Amino acid sequence: MSAGAPTCSICNARETTGFNYGVLCCDACKMFFRRTLFVKNINSCHRLGECIRKCRSCRFQKCIQAGMVFTPTKNTLEPTNNDQLSAFLFNLAHQEELRKYQLVNCWYDGDPTIAEIAEQNAPIKFTKRPDGFPMNLGEWIFITGLTSLNYLKKFNHVNMLNASDRHFLLKYSFYEISIFTDSMRACERKEESITFPDGSDIISEAVPGLEMSFLNGIRCRLAARVNDLKMTKEEFLLLSAVFFCNPGFPGISKSGCDILSTYQKIYSSALLQYCLVTYQKAGPTRFTDLLAVFQVIIKMRQDLSYLSTFLSICGFAVTKKKLYNC
Amino acid sequence: MSAGAPTCSICNARETTGFNYGVLCCDACKMFFRRTLFVKNINSCHRLGECIRKCRSCRFQKCIQAGMVFTPTKNTLEPTNNDQLSAFLFNLAHQEELRKYQLVNCWYDGDPTIAEIAEQNAPIKFTKRPDGFPMNLGEWIFITGLTSLNYLKKFNHVNMLNASDRHFLLKYSFYEISIFTDSMRACERKEESITFPDGSDIISEAVPGLEMSFLNGIRCRLAARVNDLKMTKEEFLLLSAVFFCNPGFPGISKSGCDILSTYQKIYSSALLQYCLVTYQKAGPTRFTDLLAVFQVIIKMRQDLSYLSTFLSICGFAVTKKKLYNC
DNA sequence: AAAGAAGGTCACTAGGTCAT
DNA sequence: ATGACCTAGTGACCTTCTTT
């Protein structure tokens, strides 16, 4: 009797009805997630998703942790569809909050490859980082990359790609997204230079034979640009999404490119709408200013590649984690 | 036309508006029940539920008899939600008063099975026991079990279970709850040994070949533990509720277990809050001391099973009521 | 046409409000 | 204190859309 569908992993009460917003769950949790995104009537509760009680905040946290994602479909440029944009932003903001929480508090015991992460269609399972856990440069780089990957994996378009395209997309974008996020954090903390959450430098101490100006460029240039623009959190989230749909990454198939550009259009028109609503006539200029940040991200990425190669030749390789090798 | 809703069984005056706190009744009686739980402004009236008009006490009694139940939903550990806990306790205390009244004064003419009781979604209909009704051991055991079942059936979670799970839950818990209640009564009467309300022994007189220490263990061990702890009525009520949500009873489905553990969390956090408020720093210890009583209840249950089997082999079976057979 | 997922609808009930 | 009425969250069920 009652073979039925498996039990919904979010409410642990009802049977799943299929994939809803990217996650296998029940109809009730689907509607709950949707309503919450559109109405945003959530009071934050300190225990993150733990009071299985009738706590709306924790139920929503469980949705976010399970990877539920809302993606706008209707043309967000229609002013009437503004609530689609705002639901999308609400969704992204909570995903980003989770990423930040995991970066500061969590840990992952293992050394996965990008390919392994791309294969898994469940979110990465982090564990609480023990108090007094010794974080060094390599650990920070690792957890930064891993939390970024976990954030990126949830996007709708990732699940639509075939295994190979998904692998390439994550491989060629997670590093850029990480440094962009790092720069945004520096900006929020009113710091000129990128650091890790504990304040430590992102470049290893002893680097012989490299110009200080080059190293300071890595530390500061992108953060300075973000700061000059006074980039909002919403702009950051949308811009990351647009960047993450770059159809130009190497190795991606024709059909993959099509999917990526479809989504890139969605996200960039969402960004444009945000700019128009927020800056009125100055909206289009703002939009292009934001897109121009891509160049700075790519420049920083190149500098970091050079630095990494240089260090490794000198025998100073910082991390041997597979994330950054293959 | 004018089919309308049936008349409210509590006030016999208005039309029902649907299920409120588990009972089909009108809006006015719903609000009356809620207000009374939270304000507790009730003067007890000697005629139990009989003067329907204008008597608040009797109206509330009718609510209780009809099986209305309030279950805390907000996190009772929030100090601001203390009134939820107190409303819940007020509710339980009155349900328990009713059970006690029925045990002492009522009777049930029939021999129902657990399955039949589980199917009925109305409370069990007891009748007044005639003066001078001859109570023997078997009658006491029967009415004890039946009033316990009537008490338990009203809990919110029972109505959420499917028919099969409900049957198993009642089947495997009503006996334990009964002996726990019996022990509490002994304690209130300052007696070391469990007896029925008329003072008669719970073990049949002629039991050949069993050690006195074994029999006295059954009579006294649980009551002694309750007495040692100086368990309050509130602790007893909450602890019973926690026990009654044991997801480990045999035969219960996965979804049933989930429902039970959800409610067990609610009740146990209510108990914890009670302990914290009442005993301050000693609260957590008190909480675990109380939970440890489960072991004693289970031990007593086992001893009684053995006794029952033993007696039945000797041809001394005390009761042939179906409650205790199938 | 069949299946899977997004989105819409509505009956239901806990809890709040306010004139009496 | 009461009860008629209101509000909001919920989830079962339905429709629509897309893809194969």
What single string gives the DSSP state of each residue in A205-256?
S--TT--HHHHHHHHHHHHHHHHHHT--HHHHHHHHHHHTT-TTSTT--HHH
Disruptive mutation site among A10, A12, A46, A50 for chain B (greatest number of B CBs within 10 Å): A12
Q: Answer whether B253 touches A (CB < 8 Å).
A: yes
Beta bridge partners of B23: B20
Q: Which of B73, B74, B258 sits opposite A7 (nearest CB)?
A: B258
Helices (H), chain A: 27-39, 56-66, 82-105, 114-119, 137-153, 156-160, 163-188, 212-229, 233-243, 254-279, 283-291, 293-313
- Pick out chain A residues at pLDDT < 50: 1-3
How far is C-alpha A162 from the geometric centre of its chain's CA atoms?
20
User: A128 forms bridges with which residues in the sheet?
Assistant: A106
pLDDT of residue A215: 92
Confidence of residue B148 (pLDDT cuts 50, 70, 90): very high
Looking at the predicted structure, is the pLDDT value of residue B1 above 50?
Answer: no
Record: contact A2-B259, CB cut-off 8 A:
no
Tell me which of B175-184, B267-276, B312-321 is least confident: B312-321
Which protein residue's Cα is closest to nucleotide C12 at C1'? B18
A129 CB less than 7 Å from any atom of strand D:
no
| Range of lowest pLDDT (A227-231, A308-312, B89-93, B230-234) | A308-312
**Long-range contacts made by residues A5-10, C-beta under 8 angstroms, separation at least 24?**
A7/B254, A7/B255, A7/B258, A9/A66, A10/A59, A10/A62, A10/A63, A10/A66
Residue A172 burial (CB count, 10 A): 17
Q: What is the spatial distance between Cα B143 and Cα B182, in angstroms, rounded to a whole number?
A: 12
Q: Answer yes or no: is B156 CB < 7 A from strand C.
A: no
For B265, the closest of A13, A15, A52 (CB atoms) is: A52
Q: Does A54 touch chain B (CB under 8 A)?
A: yes
Nucleotide nearest to B41 (CA to C1'): D1
The reply to whether A306 Cβ lies less than 7 angstroms from strand C is no
Q: Which residues of A touch B266 (CB under 8 A)?
A: 53
The pLDDT value recorded for residue A3 is 44
Domain positions in chain A are 1-68, 75-324
B78 shares contact with chain A (CB less than 8 Å):
no
Q: What is the C-alpha to C-alpha distance for residues B310 and A85, in angstroms, rounded to an integer? A: 73
Handedness of CA A71, A74, A78, A83 (dihedral sign): negative
Mean pLDDT calculated for residue range B91-109: 95
Which residue carries 């016999």 as its tokens? Answer: B12
Contacts of B268 in chain A (CB under 8 A): none
Match domain A1-68 to its CATH number in 3.90.1200.10, 3.40.50.620, 3.40.50.920, 3.30.50.10: 3.30.50.10
Task: State whether B253 and A51 contact (CB < 8 Å).
Answer: no
Q: What is the pLDDT of residue B313?
A: 81
- Answer whether CATH 3.65.10.10 is correct for domain B92-324: no
| CA max distance for chain B | 72
Closest C1' nucleotide to B14's CA: D3
Tell me the backbone φ, ψ of residue A24, rounded to 5 degrees.
-70, 110
Taking only the tens place, the pLDDT of each residue in A115-138 is 999 998 899 999 999 988 999 999
Question: Among B73, B74, B258, whose Cβ lies nearest the Cβ of A13?
Answer: B258
Is A13 part of the contact surface with chain B (CB cutoff 8 Å)?
Answer: yes
Please tell me the number of Cα atoms within 13 Å of B236 on its side-chain side: 24
Residues from chain B that touch A51, judged by Cβ atoms under 8 A, are 75
The CATH superfamily holding the domain A75-324 is Retinoid X Receptor (1.10.565.10)
| Whether A45 CB is under 7 Å from strand D | no
- How many angstroms separate the CA of A36 from the C1' of D5? 27
Confidence of residue B49 (pLDDT cuts 50, 70, 90): low
Neighbours of B205 (CB within 10 A): 8
| Positions on chain D within 7 A of a protein C-beta | 1-6, 8-14
Is A13–B255 a contact, with Cβ atoms under 8 angstroms apart? yes
Q: What number is the average pLDDT over the span B268-287? A: 92
Q: What average pLDDT is seen over chain B?
A: 89
Q: Which of B73, B253, B259 sits opposite A54 (nearest CB)?
A: B73
Which pLDDT score, from 0 to 100, does residue B316 have? 75
Residue-level pLDDT at B320: 74
Residue-level pLDDT at B325:
78
How close does chain A come to B165, measured CA to CA in Å?
Answer: 12
pLDDT band for position B199 (50/70/90)?
Answer: very high
**Residue B199 backbone zone (phi > 0: left; psi -120 to 50: alpha; other: beta):** left
Interface test with B, best of A11, A14, A29, A54 (most B CBs within 10 A): A54
Predicted local confidence at residue A48, as pLDDT? 64
Min Cα–Cα distance to chain B from A194, Å: 40
Whether residue A12 and residue B75 make contact (CB cut-off 8 A), yes or no, is no
> So what's the pLDDT on residue A2?
40
In this model, does residue B30 exceed pLDDT 70?
yes
pLDDT tens-digit series, residues A241-279: 999 998 888 889 988 998 998 899 889 989 999 999 999
The secondary structure element, H or E, covering residue B221 is helix B212-229
Chain A: closest CA distance from residue B73 (Å): 6
pLDDT at residue B283 is higher than 80: yes
Is the per-residue pLDDT at B108 higher than 80?
yes
- Strand D closer than 7 Å to the CB of A43? no
Q: Give the pLDDT score at A80.
A: 61
Q: How far apart are CA A27 and CA A20, in angstroms?
A: 8
